[in-house]
Every structure is written in C-alpha cells, then in structure tokens.
Chains A and B, each alone.
Chain A
Amino acid sequence: MIRTLAIVAALALSLAGCNAAQIAQAPIGQMTVDDARNIIYTLKSSYAATEVVATQYVKLPACEKPAAPPLCSSAPVVRQMVKLRDSARAAIYGGEEVVLNSSASTPLLSAAIAAAQNGYASFKIITETYKK
C-alpha cells in the first residue's frame, strides 16, 4: 500500500504543472477536425476515469444501514450520480459520433464539443462532491 501511495503521490506531483484545461480552450471558430478528435477523446477518457471512481462510491456500504461505516454511499447521491452520468454519457457519445463524421461542419463540431464538455463537467462535480 505504501508503494501505491508513493506512486500516486509522484503522479500528482508530476502533473501539478500540467495545464489540464488547455485542450478545452481551442478557439471555437478555428476548431479543426483534429482539434475536435483530441478533445472528444480526452473527454471520453476523463469520463471513463471518473466513472471508475463513481462506481467505487456506489459499491460502498449503504449509509442508511444501522451502524454504517464513515465511508458509505448515500442512495440520493447515487440516484443523482446516475442522472448526471447518463447525461454525460449521452453528450460524450453523441459528440464522438459527430466528431468521427469528418464531414461535420465547424459549428456542428463546436456545438458537439460544448455539449460533451458540459455533460462531463456535471458528472465530474457530483463525483467530486463525495468525500470520505
């Protein structure tokens, strides 16, 4: 466990200087298909990573049970997570379809990317809301 903690700590430190928002700031009017492919690929990867954490939360013992441990999952939070996950998935998967259709126009690409970004942001927020 100590080794794993050390790996995570090193990973966090190595990423501290990374401008994570850079890829999401491609100028809308100048967005190319390559830009859009990069963004949607990154969004989907981030979505998948976030979903793993959300799944772990859902699998925790229920908070509603008597003598629930401090680290537990709340049914209302789980229901909210499901709604936001479904929205994020629809937006990201839909955006991917648009982006992978190379004949899509720049405005359509931009709209698809914006929808995917917004969908993912909501899912990320609810997942981050859960703390030990």
Chain B
Amino acid sequence: MNSLKYIVFVIIFSGLVTSVMAQQVKKAKAGTFILKSGTVHTITKGSFSGDVIIREGLIVEVGQELPIPEEAIVVECSGKHIYPGFIDGGTKLGLNEIDAVSVTNDYRENGSFNPHMKALSAINPNAVAIPVTRVNGVTTVFSKPEGSMFPGTGALIDLFGYSPDYMSTGSEGLIMRFPSSGKRGRWDRRSDEDIRKDFDKALKAVNEAIESAMQYSRMDSLAESQGELWVRNNAPLDALLPVVRGEAPLFIEVNKKEDIVGALQWSKKYQITPVLMGVAEGWRVVDSLVKYNVPVITGPVIALPGRNHDRYDVAYKNAGIMAHAGVKVALRTDDGANTRNLPFHAGFAVAYGMSMEDALKSVTINSAEIFGVADKYGSIEKGKVANIFVTNGDPFETKTKIERLFIRGWDIPLESRQTLLYDEFLERNPR
C-alpha cells in the first residue's frame, strides 16, 4: 500500500515537475553515437552512404558499414542526410536579446576605438534565440560587436553550453569598419564635399590608430629584446598587436565598391592581412578581390540592392559571382534573432547562380578556414568537433526538417521557446 502511494506520489510529482519545467528546453545528452546508413555530406571529401561515430565530443570514425561500438546509441539515418553544422560568419547572436530594448543589447560600446572590447565576455549562453537558431542546423556563429572604426573583437562560438568559455571555439577576430564614402541614409543631407571631408577625417583616425599600434609594437619588441622593464598597459593597442604583427587577420567591414578597393589598398600599405566582411558590392570589384586574394564573409544574401538603379537581384547574386571568380566566400546573416535563416540565405545564393558545392562550403569549411579553425570545424572528418545535423532532405530547402542535432557531441533536443509555444498553443486547452 505504501509503495503504491509512493508510486502515485512519484507520478504526480514528476507531472508537476514537467509542467513547471515546460518553458525550459530539455537537457542535452552525452554519449557515444553512431549515425547509421545516412548520406554523409563530408564537404571536404565528397558525399557517400555511410556511418559517422561520435564519441567524447568528437567525430571518431567516418566510413561505410562501421562496426557498432558496444556502448553506442544507434541513430538510424537511412534515407536521411548528414551535414556538418553550419557556421554563420557574422551575427549579433548572444549579444542582443530584444532590438528595441537597449539594456538587452551588448554589441555597441560607446566610442570608436574599442579593439579591446571582447564579445566573448558579453555572450549570454541563455539567449532565447540560441536554441531557436541551432534547431535549424546552425551550430556555430561569429558574434561580433558593431560600431564605427574599431568596435571590438568578435568571438566564434558554438551554440551550446552554459558559459561563454565553454562555447568558445578558441577563435576570435578583431573588427574594423572601414570609413564609408557613401551616404548614411536617406536623411543624410551632407554635400559631396562634406562626405569626402568626413571620409578623409575618418581614414586619418584609422591610420593614426594603426600607426600608434605599430609604434607600440616596436616599443614592445624592443623592450623585450633589450630585456627592459616594460608592462603592456594600453588595452586597445594591446588588442591590435596581433594584427599589426601579421599574426592575426583584421576583419574589415566594407560594402561600397570604392571602399572595398580602398580597404584592400589600405591593408597592403600597412601589411595587414584582411578578411573583408559585408562586401555588398563585391560583384562590382570582383577582379580586385581576386587580385588581392582576399577571403570575404558576405551577407545577408536575401537583401535589397545598395543602389536604387541596381538590378533587383544583385544581393542574391553577389556571393555566387565572387565564388565563381575564385574568391573564398563565407556567408553570414548579419542578423541576431533570425540567424536561423542562414540556410535560406545560402539557398537564395544557389537559386541565383552559386554552385551547390560553393554554397555548402560557404557555410562550413570556408568559414572554418577564415576563422583559423579548419582543423576542428567545417566538415565531417575524423578528429573534428562533432557538430552535426541530420535532415530529411536538402538543408537549404525551406520545408526540409532537421531531425537530429549534435553540438560538441551532445545530442541536442530539437526544442526552442518557439517550438514549445507551438506545442502548448496548437490545440489550446481550455479553448
């Protein structure tokens, strides 16, 4: 009798717990998994029908008819497709919660010389948009500060974890916004001459910043070689050191045709290794991009043309034109809450001329290479981080469903607040 009471109690109590917890996403599960008999899209080594074994966060085997490890959970994938997690090359995810509520946004610091502002310090692992994003197969994003000149240092993070340090892939990127010679908006009533003056002034400020960093670098090196007492005490210049020493690329946000060329020449002048971001008018200066052999992170693809006289579809075509010319292209949404749409941006790029192969690379291995983590990310290969999703079809197609998701080898439930609201309200009770 007592035990029956106990059982009843347990049932009621567990029911209570479930309903109280209903607003939280279920826990991820660890373990050894074998994804069995799916079409494995490795990205770097072709596609084939086979298996993938995940253990301790890593991809430990990729092949055909692999023996099933004793402890492994079998995930039947016949008829399904297995892809490496998609990487978004530029977002605000984790740094913003609600656009119009300024106190929930941490991507724009005051001032314009902020290379030392670190996105990783402000990433909120519990941002509601993170589960919303990853259930669409986007497992990794570059979250970046925004603003003028040097807005800060972005962080490449995996979309699972309870601390920024855990989520970090170890890759960060210093961002610069190249001065724009375009209009700021429809309300921008500056004369052409004023725009030029402002541009020159902004460029001068950037040059001074870089030259200061170079000087600082020389002092730092000299002090070290002479064994002199020297304490690095300038946080912004410290942050610029790897860039001016050629040890890390500079991620330069630039969009207008003339400015893209300007940014390339500027980088050469200061012997800085650039990665261009945005590059909305890359299609207009694709020869320069090829000549300078510069990688680009472009997007959003689903976007308006930058000039009213442009064809309606230039933004759709831009990524494909650059990739076709041989530029290494990665995609970004440049979004926050709707970073989940990255696969659709890639799909539009394909519809408007990018090859399927280039498009897949642009959201996987190309991004991994640009962020210097291609040894760990961007493809399904033995030894890489187990960021993987399984679909019932083409990953860019709108109606395709993501059926399984692994990040760092964790089996992630396909839940977000948006799916929970669906579950609760589809058939409301009481009506």
- Is this pair of chains taken from one and the same complex? no
Measuring CB to CB, which residues of chain A are less than 8 angstroms from any residue of chain B?
Answer: none
